[in-house]
Amino acid sequence: MACPSVAIVVGHGWTKTDPPTRPTSFQPNVPSITSVGDVAMDVRVVASPRAAWGRATWTRPDRTKRRRRAGAARATSEEARAKELARLESTDAFAELVDLSRRNRKPSWLRQRAPQGERYEYLKDSLRQLHLHTVCEEAQCPNVGECWNGTHGTATIMIMGGTCTRGCRFCAVDTSHAPPPLDVEEPKHVAEAVAAWGISYVVLTSVDRDDVVDGGASHFAETVRELKSKKKDVLVECLTPDFRGDVDCIELLAGSGLDVFAHNIETVERLQGRVRDARANYKQSMHVLRTAKQSHGVYTKSSIMIGLGETEQEVKQTMRDLKDVGVDILTLGQYLQPTPKHLPVHEFVTPEMFEEYRKYGEEVVGFKYVASGPLVRSSYRAGEFFVEAMIKGEKAKTGPGETNEDQNGGGRPL
């Protein structure tokens, strides 16, 4: 009778056979005859790969070679650092490195105390209660403590929400393609806040709302009208978006009763694409300012950020271009990087250079007023006090509801 074959796989924990006897010598796949009762069986012992792996002998790794390689790498790195330091010290590169370090550190004239004080807390609480936003907080303005604690308690209120549909690379305001809908009660809340503060000059600004049909122009205009109805003698400055250059939207807001129509050119023409959202540009902003001036003869205002890589000649050319479209008031201030994700500061411009720009703007170009300094912003309060006096002074000369253009046969009532 032929012997049946039984394969016993070593290392896999098979059930014990009864009785069969394991061969005394390990010879994989070599037949061995054993018997179980009256049945003779051909038993083949097959070595499992796992069993063979487990019996393998491992040699200890040579740690000496590893230590030698690590030591060689350290020596190479130290040698490279030593060579680089020698190169920096022996050439102008060291001076460039020091200059770079200084440019990335805020100079003394840009240091401000943290905002605090009773009036600051009062304004902050009242804004929260009415669910209002301010550009002072959203854009991380360095003057927030100074402005809110001043005698007049100036705050720039940001309407139409705190989320913008555009993503300019200098701005810290949140962005989204689909921000929350406009608050229809916001115009009334703004008027209530301003009336409670008892101030005589207020700045309204807004995010860009490309998701709204008219860019929010009608909402902006309604806010101005509510303010004027609550407090007739309050002066209102509106720092506006570009409304995609829509003439009807610009004229609607310019004729709402505001006193100053402000729109920022932001930077020189060469840097527009790098600094601003692709939907904004130099010519479009100039068009907005020209349209506001020609349609209603209101005071117009703009602002330039300094320190983004522009040249002195480019700044002066921008100033001349703004004057050509009828801008009356200009502010210039140092650009400060709000977060590491935003554009870096190219240069911290000195107070002396800002003074040079101020003199050029007022004495050469002919603006009615130029506020220029490292910490000056679009709605800087020192400029507002001057503008307030200027507007009231000219109104006293020309009579209520008239402008200088009216006396010359042009323009419309404010």
pLDDT given for residue 10 in this prediction: 45
Residues 6+ apart with CB under 8 A from 214: 243, 246, 248, 249, 252
End-to-end CA separation in angstroms for the chain: 121
Provide the pLDDT for residue 68: 76
Per the model's pLDDT, the better-predicted residue between 225 and 5 turns out to be 225
Pairing of strands 369-372, 329-334: parallel
- Asked whether the predicted pLDDT for residue 44 surpasses 70, the reply is no
| pLDDT for residue 271 is more than 70 | yes
pLDDT at 378 over 70: yes
pLDDT band of 407, cuts 50, 70, 90: very low
The CA distances from residue 51 to 45, 75, 256, 277, 369, in Å, are 12, 45, 90, 67, 91
The pLDDT assigned to 338 comes to 85
Residue 154 banded pLDDT, cuts 50, 70, 90? low
Structure tokens at 80: 């490279």
Phi and psi angles of residue 332, each rounded to the nearest 5 degrees, phi first: -130, 130
Report whether 234 contacts 201 (CB < 8 A): yes
pLDDT at 121: 62
Confidence of residue 410 (pLDDT cuts 50, 70, 90): very low
Say which residue the tokens 């002919």 belong to: 366
Give mean pLDDT, residues 294-298: 93
Q: What is the mean pLDDT of residues 138-145?
A: 52
The pLDDT of 330-359, averaged and rounded, is 93
Tens digit of each residue's pLDDT (9 = 90 or more) over 217-258: 999 999 999 999 998 888 899 999 999 999 999 999 999 999
Cα–Cα nearest to 226, from 256, 267, 188, 195: 188
| Of residues 8 and 200, more confidently modeled | 200
Work out the average pLDDT over 308-317.
Answer: 97
Cα–Cα distance for residue pair 378/357, rounded to 1 Å = 16
Q: How far is CA 339 from the centre of its chain?
A: 7
Q: In what order do the strands lie in the sheet with 5-10?
A: 5-10, 39-47, 32-36
Tell me what the mean pLDDT of segment 147-175 comes to: 78
Q: Are 258 and 403 in contact (CB under 8 A)?
A: no
The answer to which of 99-103, 118-122, 385-389 has the lowest mean pLDDT is: 99-103
Residue 155 · residue 134 · CB < 8 Å: yes
How does residue 16 score in pLDDT terms, banded at 50, 70 and 90?
Answer: very low
Q: Is the pLDDT of residue 30 over 50?
A: no
> Do the Cβ atoms of 207 and 171 come closer than 8 Å?
no
pLDDT above 90 (res 153): no
Among candidates 269, 271, 251, which has minimal Cα distance to 261? 251
Mean pLDDT of the chain: 76
pLDDT at residue 211 tops 70:
yes
Residue 27: pLDDT over 60: no
Highest mean pLDDT, choosing among 119-123, 153-157, 187-191, 257-261: 257-261
Q: What is the pTM of this model?
A: 0.66
Least confidently predicted of 154-158, 193-197, 290-294, 362-366? 154-158
How large is the greatest C-alpha to C-alpha distance in the chain, in angstroms?
Answer: 133
pLDDT tops 80 at residue 322: yes
Residue 266 gets which letter from DSSP? B
Across 354-379, average pLDDT: 92
Alpha-carbon distances of 337 from 105, 269, 334, 364, 384, rounded to whole Å: 11, 20, 10, 31, 25
Q: Which residue has the higher pLDDT, 173 or 220?
A: 220
Backbone angle region of 329, left / alpha / beta, with phi > 0 → left and psi within -120 to 50 → alpha: beta
Q: What is the residue type of 183? A: D
Report whether pLDDT(56) > 90. no
Give the pLDDT confidence score for residue 261 in this predicted structure. Answer: 97
CA pair distance 346, 306, nearest whole angstrom: 9
Residue 14 pLDDT exceeds 50:
no
Share of the chain above pLDDT 90, in %: 43
